[in-house]
Chain A
Amino acid sequence: MLHFKKHHLVLVLVLFIAVISSAVAQDNVITFSSYNSDPVPRATTEDIVALWNEQNPDTPVELSTVAHEDFKQAIRAYLTASPAPDVLTWFAGNRARFFIDRDLIMDFSSMWEAEGLEDVYAPGFSALATVDDGKYFLPTSYYWWAIYYRPSLFEQVGIEAPIETWDDLLAACDTFNAAGISPFSIGTKFRWPAAAWFDYINMRLNGPQFHIDLMLLKESYTDPRVKAAFETWGQMFEHNCFIPDAAAYDWNEALDIMVQGEAAMYLMGAFITDSYPDELEEDLDFFRFPIINPDVPIGEDAPTDGYFIAANAANPEGAMTFLNYLGSQEVQQNAFNEQGRLPTRTDVDISGATPAVQKGIELIQSADYVAQFYDRDTTPEMADSGMNAMMDFWSDPSSLDDLLLELEDDRIRLAAEQATE
């Protein structure tokens, strides 16, 4: 019994100290919530924070890292808490817009002006930061999507990379299947890897303008062009282009199948190399998603990540100085050198880029339009319904008409809600 009580005393004491110290520390500590939970990005973030704390011992940054998928759900609570974390990692596009529209994000135009950021950020990225003349977001890095493949397996079955047309892609599927190798690996447990396929097929078939209008809920899901995009995707199922049981794996587990040489290709973002074993990276390359309709402009997915400041931040001044550091040339240079993340600043030296990164930069620069990603370009609820429909379509392509009717129902309702806001 006595022991039990002692325990309680210790607990109370610890809580007491925690409360007191947090109250005392609140003035100068900058709280930073990060979703960079994969090993490589996490280490980079920790290094960046450690460097800041070394240089600014009076205004230390307190980093808390939350698993990526959990962060996406918890951010709503973070932002409405009082005080909210000062600086947070987030995605550009509709995902940021949702919170900005609800006055949860601080306008830090003053910082953009004071630091002259307009001069060093490419116009496209400056636009991503802007809502109604205010600056709410600091885009710091982006990455490309492409079809990653293993050159050794291509050589083994006698297919030449890059695959440039849709017909060649389907033919390659047949060749790989005949050789006993799965053409594409994919893990759709969390759905988004499948959404990349819809993004690309829709952009390649109907053009980026139609795609983005669909994302903005301006075009109808019952439009024959949407149906055509799904049917084009359906051809891949007929040719057994994907590994079986894709829904059982997350994207990392599916990557193992490619690492083990049982699948040849993977449509994925550039962060694939973070998880790919270093010793096998020599045998990993990528090419642009094949052309389907040569008459439409080329759109690419290049999601942009960055930071924003919560409107309820306890320490907005500190948040801005830290944000300025996060967007600085030295930090972006470091992220580029260490992780191959493409910088949003024009004054980062990219001459030292590996051939792969140079190829990625070229891929994005030669695109006519750059999209964020299905679940970043459209509203959260539309993205959820859309990705559910994609998974249903994957299991049962014959249900397409019903699925599109349901999606259209959702789109009409969400567009109406958006109009009244």
Chain B
Amino acid sequence: MASIARPRPDEIRRSRGRINWTPYLFLLLPLALYLVWIIGPTFYTMYLSMTNWDGVSANPTFIGLANYERLFRDRTFQESFANNIRWLLVFITVPTMIGLGLAMVFNTEMRGGRWYKISFYAPLVLSGPVIGLIWAWVYNPRAGLINAFLRGVGVESPPGWLADRDLAIWAIIFAAAWRQVGYVMVLYLAGLKNVDPQLVEAAQIDGATRFQLFRRVILPLLAPVTTIVIIISVIDSLRAFDLVAIMTNGGQRTQVLANFMYIEAFNNYQMGYGAAIAVMLFAIMLVFIAWYLWRSLKEELDY
């Protein structure tokens, strides 16, 4: 194209006529949907966050950044933010490592291996609220499985778990991580299937120890899976909602941003304030999205 110095006017007309509109036509519908369902609401939420709309009145009043000023002074916001960060830190480390470990174990042929895989994967089939209910029973201070066991072995006053504000958030995160482990395991199992056995054999012939094999050969080959696992963990921990809503309803210092937003918007009829929380959540997500994009772009440039 660059070699064409200056196309004659009739050439331009012809090439314009040759523009193939079909792909754009196909793009039109998804783009319209994307605008209506994603981009539009995103900007509308940003606008709402600067109003004091109650969710039912016809005309929201514009109040500038007042919602954000209030948000940064709000103790519940600080608590929710801290809890989401705790959730995130646990999620990107503990289930990832356990899931990887399980995947390594189950990747070898063993008797009943499939059964074990299924039993670790099974929790993922359950919906969040069901997991919340089950674990709320398990944690029940009087009749729950854990405290029944603790009393059985002679602990006199076992902890209150979800009723204890120092333990409650960790108890919920544990229940969430329990579900996540199976998910991570399956992702890594799929990744391990793609590891070229020749590379493993070559390393073994070269006399690599099992640890060296894992650390220098398998783990680097699993890097793309690890990226996906971390992205999923980050997204799951930032949108944490159902377990908190079911298990404590946000009490005992277990509030998280999504549930906090829901309560302000739908319980307290403070749509504007709820929108401000949503925007903050979006901003936090954006940090991770930017990191991911930066990483994948850098990889593409490297090629």
Q: Taking the complex as formed, is A42 at the interface, i.e. its CB lies under 8 A from any CB of chain B?
A: no
- Is B293 part of the binding interface, using a Cβ–Cβ cutoff of 8 Å? no
Complex Cα distance, B56 from A98, in Å, reads 10
- The answer to whether B160 touches A248 (Cβ under 8 A) is yes
Contact A246 B268 (CB under 8 A): no
A248 CB contact (under 8 Å) in B55, B141, B266, B268: B141
Q: Chain B contacts of A99 at CB under 8 A?
A: 56
Max chain B C-beta neighbours (<10 A), residue from A76, A98, A99, A245: A245
Whether A191 and B163, one on each chain, are in contact in the complex, defined by CB atoms closer than 8 angstroms, is: no
Asked if A102 and B57 sit within 8 Å, CB to CB, the answer is yes
Q: From A391, which residue of chain B is reached at the shortest CB distance?
A: B251
**Interface membership of A388, Cβ < 8 A:** yes
Residues of B within 8 A of A79 (CB): 56
Indicate whether A395 sits within 8 Å of B141 (C-beta atoms), given known contacts A79-B56, A417-B52.
Answer: no
Interface size class of B (residues with CB under 8 A): 20 to 34
Q: Is A247 an interface residue (CB 8 A)?
A: yes
Does B261 lie at the interface of the complex (its beta carbon under 8 Å from any beta carbon of A)? no
Contact of A76 among B55, B70, B251, B252 (CB under 8 A): B55
Contact A80 B56 (CB under 8 A): yes
Contact of A384 among B70, B139, B140, B263 (CB under 8 A): B263
- Kindly state the separation between the CA atoms of A79 and B269 in the bound complex, as whole angstroms: 13
Q: Is the CB of A189 within 8 A of B141?
A: no
The verdict on B78 contacting chain A, using a C-beta distance below 8 Å, is no
Asked if B161 is at the interface (CB within 8 A of a chain A CB), the reply is: yes
Expressed in whole angstroms, the minimum distance between the Cβ of A258 and any Cβ of chain B is 12
User: Which residue of B160, B248, B266 is within 8 Å of A189 (Cβ)?
Assistant: B248
| B164 contacts partner chain A, Cβ-Cβ < 8 Å | yes
Asked if B249 lies at the interface with its beta carbon under 8 angstroms from chain A, I say yes
Residues in B with CB closer than 8 Å to A98 are 269
Q: Does B165 lie at the interface of the complex (its beta carbon under 8 Å from any beta carbon of A)?
A: yes
Given contacts A102-B54, A102-B56, A388-B76, contact A73 B266 (CB under 8 A): yes
We find that the number of chain A residues with CB closer than 8 angstroms to chain B is: 30
Mark interface residues in B241-254 (1 if CB within 8 Å of A CB, else 0). 00000001101100
Using known A-B contacts A391-B251, A406-B75, determine if residue A247 contacts B56 with beta carbons closer than 8 Å.
no
Interface contact A395-B252, CB-CB below 8 Å: yes
B266 touches A76 (CB 8 A): yes
Does A104 make an interface contact (CB < 8 A)?
yes
B267 touching A380, Cβ below 8 Å: yes
B251:A381 contact, CB within 8 angstroms:
no
**Residues on the A chain within 8 Å of B70, using CB:** 413
- Is A245's CB under 8 angstroms from B141's CB? yes
Write the chain A residue with the least CB distance to B273: A381
Considering the complex, which residues of chain B in the window 234-281 have a beta carbon less than 8 Å from any beta carbon of chain A?
248-249, 251-252, 263, 266-270
Complex contact A257–B142 (CB within 8 A): yes
Instruction: Pick the residue among B163, B249, B270 that contacts A245 (CB under 8 A).
Output: B163
Q: Which residue of B lies closest to A80 (CB)?
A: B56
On whether A395 and B160 interact (CB within 8 A), knowing A245-B141, A380-B268, the answer reads no
Say yes or no for A134: interface residue by CB 8 A criterion. Answer: no
Asked whether, in the complex, the Cβ of B161 is within 8 Å of the Cβ of A248, the reply is: yes
A390 to chain B, nearest CB (A): 11
Closest Cβ neighbor of B141 among chain A residues: A245
Q: Does A244 contact B (CB under 8 A)?
A: yes
Cβ–Cβ < 8 Å partners of B229 in chain A: none
Contact of B267 with A384 in the complex, beta carbons under 8 Å: yes
A420 to chain B, nearest CB (A): 8
The answer to whether residues A244 and B160 also contact, given A72-B267, A384-B268 and a CB cut-off of 8 A, is yes
Q: Chain B residues near A406 (CB, 8 Å)?
A: 75
Whether B50 sits at the interface, judged by CB under 8 Å, is no
Restricting to A167-195, which residues have a CB under 8 Å from any CB of B? 188-191
Residues from 133 to 167 in B contacting A, C-beta threshold 8 Å: 139-142, 160-165
A140 to B87, CA, bound (A): 47
User: B249 near A189 (CB under 8 angstroms)?
Assistant: yes
Q: Map CB proximity to A onto B49-70 as digits: 1 under 8 Å, 0 otherwise.
A: 0001011110000000000001
A36 to chain B, nearest CB (A): 20
CA distance A211 to B126 in the complex (A): 46
Tell me whether B269 and A247 are in contact (CB under 8 A).
Answer: no
* Of listed B139, B142, B160, B249, residue having the most chain A CB within 10 A: B142
Contact, CB under 8 Å: B141 / A244:
yes
Q: Give Cα A191 to B76, complex, Å.
A: 16
- Tell me whether A381 and B252 are in contact (CB under 8 A): no
Q: Which of B140, B162, B165, B270 is A381 in contact with, Cβ under 8 Å?
A: B270
A389-421, CB < 8 A from B: 391, 395, 406, 413, 417
Chain A, 257-273, CB within 8 A of any chain B CB:
257
Complex contacts, B249 vs chain A, CB 8 Å: 189-191
Task: From B140, B162, B252, B267, give the contact of A73 (CB < 8 A).
Answer: B267
In contact, B52 and A104 (Cβ under 8 angstroms):
no
Contact A380 B269, beta carbon cutoff 8 Å: yes
A191–B202 Cα distance when bound, in Å, is: 63
**Contact with A191, one of B140, B142, B251 (Cβ below 8 angstroms):** B251
Residues on B with C-beta less than 8 A from A188 are 251
**Most A Cβ at <10 Å: residue of B56, B70, B165:** B56
Contacts of B161 in A (CB 8 A): 245, 248
Residue of B with least CB distance to A79: B56
A to B CB contacts below 8 Å, 6 in the list: A189-B249, A245-B160, A247-B160, A381-B268, A388-B76, A413-B70
Residues of chain A having any CB pair with chain B under 8 Å: 72-73, 76, 79-80, 98-99, 102, 104, 188-191, 244-249, 253, 257, 380-381, 384, 388, 391, 395, 406, 413, 417
Task: Other than A98-B269, A406-B75, give 4 A-B pairs with Cβ distance below 8 A.
Answer: A72-B267, A247-B160, A257-B142, A384-B267
Chain B residues at the A interface, C-beta cutoff of 8 Å: 52, 54-57, 70, 75-76, 139-142, 160-165, 248-249, 251-252, 263, 266-270
> Which 6 interchain pairs have the tightest Cβ spacing?
A245-B160, A245-B163, A248-B163, A245-B141, A247-B163, A381-B268
